[in-house]
Structure 1
């Protein structure tokens, strides 16, 4: 079965292959926002040969693996268990899959690895490139489809022939492939930058499903080409390099053999087609499916994440008051604790028969302190970005204007990203908290209206003020990040004296204190030339060093956002 051009054609063929072997292919990673295009795919899911079961990103273990049927247990006085969603093979539909926590991803991956016949449909609704499905699940799902850029006019109702699919499923166990096919798929995966050994095996299973769907008993070249485009191409992280040409001068060809020429002429085109290497054919199919510029963007984002950066979200905090509910835990009813009544009853139910036999009191329900389950919630704290700006020297006003523009640009996204911004300026002999933590753009403009510059560079004082502010903000539930903007060396110590050596030591001690408290940071060098001392200071902070000579507000804002999102 060959694979024609067009995203929607790949969607149709991929879903038909999934209907032939849902357990073998693992499932589908569907990246698409909620809308009519995604609804077209959802409409075809009932044709899969397994019952549909809907999950959610915060589903608990009892719903997945089963547990006690509390109502039946309390009414009958005997322990009654109920099966979980993973008890029988099913099509597991997971909406908002980009919010899947690592624990749930590990549980679903383990259930799929056990070979119990589950098939996962992960609907990824992420708006940003970094909002995506956990790698533990993407590695196990054969089909990866991205429909974000697909217009409604290029879609149509997906044809699913129930009788043909049933015949293909019956034919699938007898479909065979040469032993060398898996080797060729593995080499191709390496050339595409795919580091998973599951990918070529999933591609082979997809080829067998396509062969069964076409009514064949053996995998042919068209089936492998379609499988590469469906399974391997979406996973590619690099564009394969062409083999290097031989630098030696070409040699004269040997004289032609008349008999050999006659044989070549008689065999004709059939021999040339048979002699084409399979790896090259599959490689060209993968190149034709995924554009080279998209592969370059994927590689660039991977390199940026590998270079280190600042977490783009606030820290997770667990408590018992508010936030996203998470599984309850055994605990005591202290001040402020909230009892999870259902979980408490479920924990006490298995022991009722024994407790009634041992108890001297007649009561319908025996609950002990060990049964208490306390509600827990998880919330993400607000992030505070503390700008520490060098206001010393003749160019201070220029740098403050750039910082002001960058702060205003970042605040434009503060409501969506839940960021707060603070500004510390250091000049002369001390540092000043120019702008306390705020999300108000009006207040920011008013505070940044005017600030005199000049004098020495009390870098240690600026870092100390930022550290004190970070400690205070963390006590208020925020997650602080320090962004240092400067272009020179420290020359004013913490005691106000003009001592360059002591000032460098004080700045290093403050940097060590910031890192010891676990506060992320970044150092932006705005000098005309990169400064070695600032690079050393960034290493002490454990922070990225970003040299930006002659940076304006737009470049500064872009650099900070890139570091935060890395």
Structure 2
């Protein structure tokens, strides 16, 4: 068998340190379902703390415990039921990328208490709009491991060691200062990272029966904790200033020699640099842009309902025919009151009051509709239409994965026309775009009105509309067809205010050779971002739309 892959060796070392020291919080594992992740899961079952699988839709009763309904009704008094968090354990969070805020807050509070560890199995894709593990959990997990791209033949069986005594390891102040300075140099934000690095160095030293962390221990801590969190590359001048310990002429020479042996100078920095990809800055910038655009791409608005979608915790309600009763939650709410309600009555049936009724709730994500409102007037119309066609086709290529719909409104001459109704069909879109011709005046107000009407219709069908206007800003046709720039501009601003009043997301892209102040005013009336892209290509348009919404 070949030697294990480097990423697998890091995962094995991280799991070993976590088994010896649960204070490290846990591991964030990015891996798709397959034999590699199965091998890692099998090793997790051998951790000292018992493993408990947690689903992103776990309820509070399952986590913290509640009332045992059957035992309570049978005994006549409240019988408590234990939850997953009652005893120390290692929580294995499957599909961690789907974790929502409330559960992330509860798990973060649990990790802060120090009685549990967490292994987050993240199956998310590293692409725009993909679901991500909440930052509240990311910063509380010491180790970040990426197992993507590893073949099952490049992994080995992980054997975890027995418990060790961490109290025998001393951590000099020089080690703490050095690891903290490394975090600063590589742009690691937060206080938890240096704390985890120090704890990892201590645990690694104890693993090899060392009383003080040495260069190998600092290198292991830097590779496991600091390298995955790095956001910048330090300069050589910064390295020389911050990695060398300051001279101390007041202390004895033995302490200075001991510090020089502990601090490995540039070896740890070189180890971190070796783990980072050559284009680390570009990748970090891309990841940041994806996180900022996450809420704008993919699915649309979320709304609470009582019929379908992702389940939410039940709430109090009425049986009015519009809600679905949550029988288990209702019985759990009524069970503690049964002894009191049966007092003075000979009946032994279950007594349920209207205040006990719990109804189900769901969260449904609507599809997003991008309404391209394109200026097809005579001034450079062919260039803009070509760019719009390319941008629409690029966005439609990802429509199935992101659940996006696309519509196209063109305004030219004296009116605007919806030439493409909301669709996800790339063939139909290309056919309609190919037959689109340009020329005539610029009825910008009519184009905005047609886009607003289409957006209201789409919202009535459950879609989340976004209006994207591509124009050069030279509006010269009013809503009544009058060829005059002043009323045309006034009507355009009025329609922009209507779009803002209906709370419809929008953006304005200026494709003229020079940015127009009138379009900046129009975007402010619309409460939309303004982007000036003279001579923009279809690729630039699609990137701007994805990143700025």
Q: CA deviation at 1:242?
A: 3.4
Question: 2: CA distance between counterparts of 1:197 and 1:500?
Answer: 58
Indicate how the Cα distance of structure 1 residues 141 and 304 shifts in structure 2: closer, same or farther if over 3 A, else same: closer
Q: Is the 8 A contact 2:53 2:93 kept in 1?
A: yes
Counterpart of 2:172 (choices 163, 178, 183) is 178
Q: Which residue of the partner structure matches residue 274 of structure 1?
A: 260
The answer on 1:16 being equivalent to 2:16 is yes
SS at match of 1:18: helix
Q: Is the 8 A contact 2:304 2:362 kept in 1?
A: yes
**Mean alpha-carbon deviation: is it higher for 6-15 or for 475-484?**
6-15
Counterpart of 1:416 (choices 395, 401, 407) is 401
- Residue deviations 1:16-74 (CA, integer Å, cap 9, x gap): 1111102x100100011111121221121122111110100111111000001112112
Indicate how the Cα distance of structure 1 residues 361 and 423 shifts in structure 2: closer, same or farther if over 3 A, else same: farther
The answer on 1:232 being equivalent to 2:226 is yes
Question: 1: CA distance between counterparts of 2:501 and 2:232?
Answer: 38
SS at match of 1:73: helix
SS at match of 2:418: strand
Q: Is the 8 A contact 1:207 1:224 kept in 2?
A: yes
Question: 2: CA distance between counterparts of 1:412 and 1:146?
Answer: 28
Indicate how the Cα distance of structure 1 residues 223 and 452 shifts in structure 2: closer, same or farther if over 3 A, else same: closer
Indicate how the Cα distance of structure 1 residues 75 and 272 shifts in structure 2: closer, same or farther if over 3 A, else same: closer
TM-score of the superposed pair, with normalisation by structure 1: 0.87
SS at match of 1:274: helix
Q: Which residue of the partner structure matches residue 335 of structure 1?
A: 321
Question: 2: CA distance between counterparts of 1:323 and 1:276?
Answer: 56
Q: Which residue of the partner structure matches residue 256 of structure 1?
A: none
Equivalent runs, 1:88-487 vs 2, <5 Å: 88-115=87-114, 117-129=115-127, 130-161=130-161, 165-166=162-163, 168=164, 171-243=165-237, 274=260, 278=264, 280-302=266-288, 310-357=296-343, 360=345, 362-487=347-472
- Residue deviations 1:440-463 (CA, integer Å, cap 9, x gap): 334334433423422211112211
Listed as ranges, the gaps of 5+ residues in structure 1 are 247-266
Indicate how the Cα distance of structure 1 residues 276 and 198 shifts in structure 2: closer, same or farther if over 3 A, else same: closer
Q: Is the 8 A contact 1:184 1:279 kept in 2?
A: no
Question: 2: CA distance between counterparts of 1:304 and 1:75?
Answer: 54
Q: CA deviation at 1:335?
A: 3.0
SS at match of 2:42: helix
Question: 2: CA distance between counterparts of 1:245 and 1:141?
Answer: 27
TM-score of the superposed pair, with normalisation by structure 2: 0.90
Q: Is the 8 A contact 1:381 1:479 kept in 2?
A: yes
Q: CA deviation at 1:309?
A: 8.2
Q: CA deviation at 1:118?
A: 0.2
- Residue deviations 1:144-202 (CA, integer Å, cap 9, x gap): 001113233332222324xxx22x2xx21221101232222222212211111000001
- Residue deviations 1:111-139 (CA, integer Å, cap 9, x gap): 11122x20000000001345321100011
Q: CA deviation at 1:277?
A: 5.5
Question: 1: CA distance between counterparts of 2:290 and 2:91?
Answer: 34
Question: 2: CA distance between counterparts of 1:410 and 1:562?
Answer: 12
Indicate how the Cα distance of structure 1 residues 304 and 382 shifts in structure 2: closer, same or farther if over 3 A, else same: closer
Listed as ranges, the gaps of 5+ residues in structure 2 are 241-252
Q: Is the 8 A contact 1:318 1:378 kept in 2?
A: yes
The answer on 1:28 being equivalent to 2:13 is no
